[in-house]
């Protein structure tokens, strides 16, 4: 078996921000064997390594002076099932939304609210993707990886992943040490759908659906997302640029006296409240503004967009301006959700 590296590869079509940046070397791996061969090349070259999934949660700010390896390990397998649940193992290079549709098609419940999130299955545990009241951590049983330093396999059980709000050990203590190759999901056979978040219930009511199936929920989520979020195929972006900041509840109460219409979500930690970053950005006047080739989306203030030909640095400069205004107005530090490369 032989794996070929390409040199000075333009990554524009491999990131949803559609930013031009060159990788010094680049290769695609479709199996663990190919990955291990490529890791041997990385070791010999002593160069930096970047793993790429769908490129929907990263921003290139410069050319990458190292090796970029794109994960295309496919395959979905049912490992076991009983009357209540099923354990499904999925190759990390499968497209997340296609995996969701597979589950919906089979009647396996748990991920339907996460429909249409771009990217790969392998990246889903890294920031514990979440939407419409559901986080992927609630369905993950284990995460299989290759350890870069040893090229050995390692399996993390969900409770070893330290999942948090858009967070896990793969972004913290174990950052850059493992390549995720497979994810095992525990999905339910008896669906208890979650329609409480956002506009899901409203969409179902409009359609006269009284007892929604997981397909109904996934269809509603797809419709809502299409109406609200820019499609990266048409307008470069990486979804929410910032995380919703978690602030002490006392600070939130103080803000609420000044801004009674501010909404909130429960924080991950005791005594903390999640404030809506989109609301803070909108209130600070940025929604719909354009600066050069970049701007803040007109419908969704959390999304920074590339109107065409933008550099990563332009995106960073705009994000810094937004952070400055939000800090000045509300005393809150916004933290990027997107991985800055």
Ligand X SMILES: Cc1cc2nc3c(=O)[nH]c(=O)nc-3n(C[C@H](O)[C@H](O)[C@H](O)COP(=O)(O)OP(=O)(O)OC[C@H]3O[C@@H](n4cnc5c(N)ncnc54)[C@H](O)[C@@H]3O)c2cc1C
Is 53 or 245 the residue whose CB approaches ligand X more closely?
A: 53
Counting residues that bind ligand X (by CB under 6 A) gives: 32
Number of other residues whose CB lies within 10 A of the CB of residue 278: 18
CA dist list (Å): 182 to 90, 225, 261, 305: 6, 27, 43, 31
Angle value at C-alpha 233, between 229 and 238, nearest 5 degrees:
55
- Does residue 129 touch ligand X according to CB under 6 A? yes
Q: How far apart are CA 305 and CA 239, in angstroms?
A: 9
User: For the purposes of burial, counting CB atoms within 10 Å of the CB of 65, is it exposed (0-12), middle (13-18) or buried (19 or more)?
Assistant: exposed
Give the shortest CB-337-to-ligand X separation in angstroms.
7
According to CB under 6 A, which one of 16, 142, 182, 195 is a site residue for ligand X?
16
Query: Which residues are catalytic, by number?
Result: 166, 240, 337
Which one of the spans 52-60, 190-198, 212-220, 268-276 is the region binding ligand X (CB under 6 A)? 52-60
Length of the chain: 341
- Does residue 57 touch ligand X according to CB under 6 A? yes
- Does residue 69 touch ligand X according to CB under 6 A? no
> Which residues within the stretch 223-242 sit at the binding site for ligand X (CB under 6 A)?
229, 232, 237-239
Beta-sheet strands, E only, within 132-189 = 134-135, 140-147, 153-157, 178-188
- Does residue 339 touch ligand X according to CB under 6 A? yes
Buried b / exposed e across 179-192, counting CB within 10 Å, b at 16+? bbbbbbbbbeeebe
Q: How far apart are CA 74 and CA 171, in angstroms?
A: 23
- Does residue 92 touch ligand X according to CB under 6 A? yes
Q: How far apart are CA 155 and CA 266, in angstroms?
A: 31
Is 183 or 255 the residue whose CB approaches ligand X more closely?
A: 183
According to CB under 6 A, which one of 124, 168, 219, 306 is a site residue for ligand X?
124
Which one of the spans 47-55, 82-90, 202-210, 318-326 is the region binding ligand X (CB under 6 A)? 47-55
Which one of the spans 21-29, 105-113, 123-131, 274-282 is the region binding ligand X (CB under 6 A)? 123-131
Contacting residues toward ligand X, per CB under 6 A:
16, 50-58, 71, 92, 117-120, 122-124, 126-127, 129-131, 179-180, 229, 232, 237-239, 339
């Amino acid at each position: 078996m032989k794996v070929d590296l390409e040199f000075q590869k333009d990554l524009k079509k491999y990131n949803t921000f559609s930013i031009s940046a060159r990788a010094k070397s680049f290769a695609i791996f479709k199996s663990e064997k190919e990955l291990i061969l490529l890791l041997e090349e990385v070791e010999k070259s002593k160069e930096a390594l970047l793993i790429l999934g769908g490129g929907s949660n990263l921003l290139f700010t410069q050319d990458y002076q190292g090796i970029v390896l794109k994960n295309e390990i496919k395959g979905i397998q049912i490992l076991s099932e009983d009357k209540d649940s099923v354990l499904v193992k999925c190759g990390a290079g499968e497209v997340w939304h296609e995996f969701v549709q597979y589950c919906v098609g089979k009647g396996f419940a748990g991920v339907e609210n996460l429909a249409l999130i771009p990217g790969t299955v392998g990246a889903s545990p890294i920031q514990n993707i979440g939407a419409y009241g559901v986080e992927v951590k609630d369905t993950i049983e284990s995460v299989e990886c290759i350890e870069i330093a040893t090229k050995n396999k390692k399996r993390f059980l969900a409770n070893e992943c330290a999942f948090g709000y858009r967070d896990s050990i793969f972004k913290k203590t174990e950052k850059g040490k493992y390549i995720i190759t497979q994810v095992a999901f525990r999905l339910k056979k008896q669906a208890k759908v979650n329609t409480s978040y956002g506009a899901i219930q409203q969409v179902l009511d409009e359609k006269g659906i009284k007892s929604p199936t997981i397909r109904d929920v996934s269809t509603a989520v797809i419709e809502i997302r299409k109406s609200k979020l820019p499609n990266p195929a048409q307008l470069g972006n990486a979804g929410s640029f910032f995380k919703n900041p978690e602030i002490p509840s006392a600070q939130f109460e103080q803000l609420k006296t000044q801004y009674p219409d501010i909404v909130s979500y429960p924080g991950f930690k005791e005594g903390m409240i999640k404030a809506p970053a989109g609301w803070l950005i909108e209130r600070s006047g940025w929604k719909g503004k354009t600066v050069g080739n970049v701007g803040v989306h007109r419908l969704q203030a959390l999304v920074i967009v590339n109107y065409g030909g933008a550099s990563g640095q332009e995106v960073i400069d705009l994000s810094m301006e937004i952070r400055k205004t939000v800090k000045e107005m509300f005393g809150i530090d916004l933290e990027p959700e997107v991985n800055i490369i």
